[in-house]
Structure 1
Amino acid sequence: MLKGRAVTTAVHKASAQASRHSSVKAFHPYAARRQQHFYRSLATVTALGTLAGVSQWYLNGGTLIRDVHAEALNPDPELKFEKPRKKKGLSKEDNRDSISSQHLQVKRSWENPGLYAWGSNAGRVVAPDSQESFVKTPRRIPFFDGVLLRDVKLDRNFGAAIDEKGNLLQWGVGYSKESTGPTVTLRGKNLTSLAISRDRIIGLGSDGKVYSLPVSKDEQQKGPKFAESSWIPFWSSNADVSYRCLHPKDMAWGEKVSSIAGGLEHALLLTSKGRLFSAASGTQDFPSKGQLGIPGLTWLTKPEGPYDQPHEITTLRGFEVGKIAAGDFHSLAADRDGRVFAFGDNTLGQLGFDYNPEAAFIDAPSLLPTQKLYAGTGQVPSVTDVAAGGCNSYFMIDATKGATQGSGNDAASLRGLGRVTADTWACGHGIWGGLGNGRWTHVQGTPTKIPSLSGLFEYDETTNKVVPIRLSRLSVGATHAAAVMKNVTYTHASDKGSENDTNWGADILFFGNNEFYQLGTGKRNNVSNPTYIQPLDAGAERKIRGKGDHRFQITPRSNITVGGRRVSVEQRVECGRGCTAVYSGV
């Protein structure tokens, strides 16, 4: 189709040619026929030219374009640089606060140590002084302002914590209906860590002794009390509260309990020699789902002695266990060679094996075939840590790239040799998002990878290397979890540095059930992909930095001054039953 000036020129040429041909006489017999053919062609060209002109006139709003120009190119967009955030008159430290949310969070965690809690408040655990049913976003418990803690465990009906001196504190209606705040219950045991069951608290002392005491204040007061020795020679007195001691038998010289974990009815005791013991930890029901790891052990077949006496899991003799975890009714044990064993309830696939209705429970430690998870990849897996809670299990694995079978020594086959990839796998109940893989799966027997917590790398400026990002800790509650990343952090900003030298902490993500607002998002929808939440003290942050999307980053361990003394402190997260806490831990 001809356009614009080209149309006019073609028409004029055709008309001139037509006038010349009209004056030519035919000297050949076929001249007349050729002349008729020419006129028909001329008419066709004229009609097409006219049609093209009309079409162009119509498409251009009734104006015939006389000049044809090449389409103008869009100019490159002008580069816009972010406006400097620094405000006139600000000090160096104030400028750091204004340009970095992370710096402000680290600073506040050092200046105001304490405990934030959120989620279900049915038992007055996350807000002891409030009658609210839920606390939707992180809120400080005033009692713990300026207090450093060794450990915290939360249930919907009671809370337990160890203060800096090793004393046990309890609160919530499960402890006492008249409770209005934390109260010291077990003193002088120098406790270092806690585990909780349905109705008892298990505490580990720095000397390896394990204590079991009832949650209820009434039972603590009415139950039998041990006679305890005093610093005064030949003088003893009864303990303030009723408790029991869990003593593993046949301990070697220098061997002591170094780690504990607990479910609703059982507890795991790991010794410094890598031996694993299990014991009943509740009074309502004796463990009956294989979670003790002792084949055939029931209430009827248990040996003589206390119902909660520890039993060595002899199946694991020869395997030096380094990590343990416990869900409601199942147990995990990882040895120092990177293998993991699971036992207990498997009705939802939480042991990492497909559910078998004829064998819903596995009462002996069974080796999880983690190498199958990496079949065909050329990677060799090694379990570095385990976590469990409710009906879920999690495995942290370092996968090392090895030479594939039949590969040569060429550059392609050697590329990436020895490279380590850090992955996190999950199995069990996923209908609330606890698998963290974006799916809502009811039963997941085969471990599935959590994409957003796996295969991550970053550049470490101190070593000038690309390093894998592992998990520092995975805290698992009954139905939700929080993952603390072991990414590169920085806490060395000082007055000697530049005004842009800021601190930053570790990434922390939450996922799973959110029925009681325990994820801290302020909303009630479940989350199947790990997600960030707003800073703990979002209101104070907005006053300094204004509105904006800022995420909570947890402060890594640092030496700071608290109350005029130097202390090594870090922020820790603890997921419980329908509630969550972040506290300043020593």
Structure 2
Amino acid sequence: MFRRAGQNFQPHLRRLHQQARQAAVSIPRTQRNAATTVALASGITVGSYLWYVNSQKIYNDTDVPASAGHATPPTPQTKLTTVEAKSWDDPNALHSLVWGSNKTETLESYKVLDSNVSLSEGANEREKDIRHPTIATWLDNVALRDMQLHSRHAACVDARGDVYQWGDGFLGPVLEGGAKPVPTLKGKNIVKLQLTEFKVYALSASGKVYVLAADALDQATPVNKLPTNNSWFGTGWLLGNGKNIQYQELAPKENLSWNEKFISIMAGDNHLLALTSKGRAFAHPVNKQANRFGQLGFRSFEVTDPAGAIVGTKSETLKVELLPKTKQDPSAKSIRITPSSDMAADLSNINDSTIHWCTHLFEIPALRGVDVSQIAAGGRTSFARTLTGRVLGWGANEYGQIGLGANVTLDTITVPTEVILWRMVPANTRSKCLSVTAGGDLTSFTVERSNDSTPTTTDLLMCGNGQSGGLGNNTYTSSQGNPVRVKNVSGLLQYSDRTKQLEPITPTEVVISPTGHVLVALDSSAESHGVGGQDLMVWGKNYDYELGNGKKSSLAMPATLDAPDGERLMLMKKKAREVLDLKGKVWKRNVAVAQQVVAGYGNSAVYWKIVG
């Protein structure tokens, strides 16, 4: 009503203004100044009235809220409780954050979540999704060595080097609602984990690689080693003491040299890569699909003969040769096995989901003599970065995820092939790959660009399936063979007071989820030694709130993320007064820790990691 009145007044006011202007021309200057002052005051008064009646809609058929005129629209910063915001700001506490899909309880137990997070604080009551970064209370004052998330199960390594597992895929229906982490592999001093659908791979500080089942029921050790229908299973996992857990050590098929050990492992969907301290690259078939796209880097390997276990004799091995999918066999619906007199012609009777199916790591023949400094594994791809900053890739390439360019249309690359990272750059610019990261059907390359005439810069390049915006270049492209620059994080410079010159702002950590979202830590305060923190940038697929912005729309460009206190989320480093293990006991005091990001299947987390 008032708004309509304001609109009716406007033409009358316009006519009054015109009449006053015409009259002002015919009066003396002194009177004109006085009239001008009066008109100005009247204009301010009327204008204020019109602004008031038009700035807010007031309906005469509803009750006006008591806080009308003072209410502010809800923002992501106001969705969390004041108690949680204050807890996050506590400098003496260690808090971890989780957000995204929690349908399989890989982030937190439903019971714990329901008691700590209300619907307005970010938890969807029906789907159990966490819309915004939320404090995981079960990790309060806990620092980990590593943490990994899979689709239905998760695992971590606590400060003592013990492995804990949880999630619906681990406990299943055994313990209803029991998502509390359970210790499984203990006393092995584990430093790194990698997860696949049915198996958990663990790397120890001494360089040994272990594998254990992802399902708790498959971990139990029978009394005797003969499998029977009525085998008695150990209950160590159920009691939480980590005893009677069945695991397998993976031994290298080729001998390692003196003081050589494994220092890194990376897993895809069906294969595992391992790197030694001498720069040698090994691979391991997780299951029968391990070489469908040539991602192993070799065809022949040995598996355990199940016949030996049945008769109770010493375990024998079978030689297997798996041929990758090729252009000549585009369907490749079955496992292709080369018929040979000394090789198994049928693998249908071999269970590849057990930890004993293959017990060795095999050196990749094409990389012998190549000094490899880093390995990376996508869902069906493999990468090796050399000491000189060059990258080799092989495996699935139907989305261009290896980065071989638009002219390479092969969907299967069986031989390690160099990725050209200096396309579309000046001839006098030197390019060196600092890091390679892969996940699902996406790959990233952190590349340093340098020449003698301009400051050194750092580009983050991405290729592969960007249908959900994972390429970060403001496009939604399902296939990208040429690595493209990610916007907002590539080519950035900052002035250094120490060197008195411009220096590049470098992505220090790139994490790509198997489902298509990306998290990047951008070090914009390198000289502060972690005091200022590192910006956390997110983009890509966002169907389950995995980007933590409270929405379900994907992002094609990097964006910042809000912490529980409403401020921009920064990854920090500090000295923790004390660090607890997952049993709640104090491990050590004055420990150097840093926040680390991890991406799962439609979810994300930030936890405190022990460094140094």
Q: Structure 2 length as normaliser, TM-score? A: 0.68
| 1:245-260 mapped onto 2 (5 Å cutoff) | 245-248=249-252, 249-260=254-265
Quote how far apart the aligned CAs of 1:465 are. Answer: 3.1
Aligned to 2:363: 312
Q: Secondary structure, in 3 states, of the residue corresponding to 1:175?
A: helix
432-441 or 347-356, which moves further after superposition? 347-356
Aligned to 2:401: 350
8 Å CA contact 1:330, 1:342 repeated in 2 = yes
Counterpart-to-counterpart distance in 2, 1:201 and 1:574: 16
Counterpart-to-counterpart distance in 2, 1:278 and 1:110: 43
Aligned to 1:397: 447
Instruction: Name which of 370, 378, 381 aligns with 2:421.
Output: 370
Quote how far apart the aligned CAs of 1:256 are. Answer: 0.6
Q: Tell me: CA distance 1:385–1:476, structure 2 relative to 1, closer, same or farther (3 Å).
A: same
Q: Secondary structure, in 3 states, of the residue corresponding to 1:149?
A: coil
Counterpart-to-counterpart distance in 2, 1:60 and 1:213: 90
Aligned to 2:107: 126
Q: Tell me: CA distance 1:348–1:355, structure 2 relative to 1, closer, same or farther (3 Å).
A: farther
Counterpart-to-counterpart distance in 2, 1:439 and 1:219: 44
| 1:445-460 mapped onto 2 (5 Å cutoff) | 445-460=481-496
Aligned to 1:387: 437
Q: Write the letter of the residue equivalent to 1:515.
A: Y
Instruction: Name which of 389, 405, 415 aligns with 1:338.
Output: 389
Query: Is 1:441 aligned to 2:477, yes or no?
Result: yes
Q: Secondary structure, in 3 states, of the residue corresponding to 1:584?
A: strand
| 1:118-517 mapped onto 2 (5 Å cutoff) | 118-130=99-111, 132-177=127-172, 178=175, 179-221=178-220, 240-248=244-252, 249-281=254-286, 283=287, 285-294=289-298, 298=322, 300=337, 307=358, 309-354=360-405, 359-374=410-425, 376=426, 378-402=428-452, 415-416=453-454, 419-478=455-514, 479-488=516-525, 503-517=531-545
Query: Is 1:553 aligned to 2:552, yes or no?
Result: no
Please provide the CA RMSD for this pair.
Answer: 3.1
Q: Secondary structure, in 3 states, of the residue corresponding to 2:138?
A: helix
Quote how far apart the aligned CAs of 1:488 are. Answer: 1.4
8 Å CA contact 1:225, 1:240 repeated in 2 = no
Q: Write the letter of the residue equivalent to 1:518.
A: E
159-168 or 191-200, which moves further after superposition? 191-200
Quote how far apart the aligned CAs of 1:357 are. Answer: 9.2
Aligned to 2:117: none
Q: Tell me: CA distance 1:380–1:225, structure 2 relative to 1, closer, same or farther (3 Å).
A: farther
Counterpart-to-counterpart distance in 2, 1:351 and 1:532: 28
Q: Tell me: CA distance 1:175–1:111, structure 2 relative to 1, closer, same or farther (3 Å).
A: same
Query: Is 1:521 aligned to 2:549, yes or no?
Result: yes
Counterpart-to-counterpart distance in 2, 1:462 and 1:371: 30
Q: Secondary structure, in 3 states, of the residue corresponding to 1:370?
A: coil
Aligned to 2:305: none
Please list the CA deviations of residues 458-487 of structure 1 after superposition, one character each: whole Å capped at 9, or x if unmatched.
122344332111111101111111100122
Bigger CA radius of gyration: 1
8 Å CA contact 1:225, 1:242 repeated in 2 = no
Q: Tell me: CA distance 1:489–1:350, structure 2 relative to 1, closer, same or farther (3 Å).
A: same
Query: Is 1:580 aligned to 2:604, yes or no?
Result: yes
Query: Is 1:112 aligned to 2:111, yes or no?
Result: no
Q: Secondary structure, in 3 states, of the residue corresponding to 2:170?
A: coil
Q: Secondary structure, in 3 states, of the residue corresponding to 2:478?
A: coil
389-398 or 130-139, which moves further after superposition? 130-139
Counterpart-to-counterpart distance in 1, 2:208 and 2:150: 24
Instruction: Name which of 545, 554, 570 aligns with 2:594.
Output: 570
8 Å CA contact 2:406, 2:482 repeated in 1 = no
Q: Secondary structure, in 3 states, of the residue corresponding to 1:174?
A: helix
Counterpart-to-counterpart distance in 2, 1:105 and 1:256: 45
Q: Secondary structure, in 3 states, of the residue corresponding to 1:451?
A: coil
Quote how far apart the aligned CAs of 1:105 are. Answer: 9.6
Quote how far apart the aligned CAs of 1:354 are. Answer: 4.2
Q: Secondary structure, in 3 states, of the residue corresponding to 1:467?
A: strand
Unaligned 5+ segments in structure 1 are 1-56, 69-103, 227-237, 403-414, 494-502, 542-549
Counterpart-to-counterpart distance in 2, 1:337 and 1:129: 48
Q: Tell me: CA distance 1:59–1:138, structure 2 relative to 1, closer, same or farther (3 Å).
A: same
Counterpart-to-counterpart distance in 1, 2:362 and 2:597: 31
Aligned to 2:5: none
Q: Secondary structure, in 3 states, of the residue corresponding to 1:350?
A: coil
Counterpart-to-counterpart distance in 2, 1:225 and 1:340: 48
Aligned to 2:330: none
Q: Write the letter of the residue equivalent to 2:104.
A: G
Please list the CA deviations of residues 358-386 of structure 1 after superposition, one character each: whole Å capped at 9, or x if unmatched.
73111111001223242x35311000100
Counterpart-to-counterpart distance in 1, 2:365 and 2:21: 90
Q: Write the letter of the residue equivalent to 2:609.
A: G
8 Å CA contact 2:219, 2:245 repeated in 1 = yes
8 Å CA contact 1:162, 1:192 repeated in 2 = yes
Please list the CA deviations of residues 168-197 of structure 1 after superposition, one character each: whole Å capped at 9, or x if unmatched.
011100001223311111101100011111
Quote how far apart the aligned CAs of 1:122 are. Answer: 1.2
Please list the CA deviations of residues 259-286 of structure 1 after superposition, one character each: whole Å capped at 9, or x if unmatched.
11111111110110111011112x4744
Q: Tell me: CA distance 1:584–1:175, structure 2 relative to 1, closer, same or farther (3 Å).
A: same
Q: Write the letter of the residue equivalent to 1:290.
A: G
Q: Write the letter of the residue equivalent to 1:219.
A: D
Q: Tell me: CA distance 1:196–1:286, structure 2 relative to 1, closer, same or farther (3 Å).
A: same
Q: Secondary structure, in 3 states, of the residue corresponding to 1:442?
A: strand
Q: Secondary structure, in 3 states, of the residue corresponding to 2:366?
A: helix
Quote how far apart the aligned CAs of 1:447 are. Answer: 0.5
Unaligned 5+ segments in structure 2 are 1-17, 30-84, 112-124, 226-241, 301-320, 323-334, 345-355, 580-587
Quote how far apart the aligned CAs of 1:435 are. Answer: 0.3
Please list the CA deviations of residues 174-228 of structure 1 after superposition, one character each: whole Å capped at 9, or x if unmatched.
00122331111110110001111122111100000001111000111157999xx
8 Å CA contact 1:264, 1:328 repeated in 2 = yes
Q: Secondary structure, in 3 states, of the residue corresponding to 2:220?
A: helix
Please list the CA deviations of residues 341-369 of structure 1 after superposition, one character each: whole Å capped at 9, or x if unmatched.
11110011100024689731111110012
Counterpart-to-counterpart distance in 2, 1:224 and 1:426: 51
8 Å CA contact 2:152, 2:167 repeated in 1 = yes
**Count of matched residue pairs:** 450
Percent identity between the two aligned chains:
29
Please list the CA deviations of residues 298-349 of structure 1 after superposition, one character each: whole Å capped at 9, or x if unmatched.
1635978953522211212232111111111111111010100111100111
Counterpart-to-counterpart distance in 2, 1:197 and 1:223: 24
8 Å CA contact 2:88, 2:95 repeated in 1 = no
Q: Where do 4+ consecutive residues of structure 1 move more than 6 Å?
A: 65-68, 104-107, 223-226, 302-305, 355-358, 490-493
